[in-house]
Amino acid sequence: MAEPKPINWQNTLTIVSVAILVGTELVGVSWAAGWALGGIFQLPPMVSLAFEIAGGLFGMVLLYYFVRAALKVEPVRG
């Protein structure tokens, strides 16, 4: 059985920092877009909240794929 490669802490710190920065922006913009759509179309509060939650979840999905792509460029192990 092969020994796992050591963790590259510089790459790990880079990935975590970028994930926090980009994640805040992606989730914030997606959540705000849901809020704005609810306000523009004067939707009931529960429907507007559903748009906000859907926007937040969409932002998290985008963040997941962003981190996956970033890990291919900046590998954590090795």
Tens of pLDDT, residue by residue over 9-66, are 999 999 999 999 999 999 999 999 999 999 999 999 999 999 999 999 999 999 999 9
**pTM of the entire predicted model:** 0.84
Pull the structure tokens for residue 20.
């926090």
φ and ψ at 59, to 5 degrees? -65, -40
Separation of alpha carbons 41 and 19, rounded Å = 32
Rounded CA gap, 57 and 30, in Å?
8
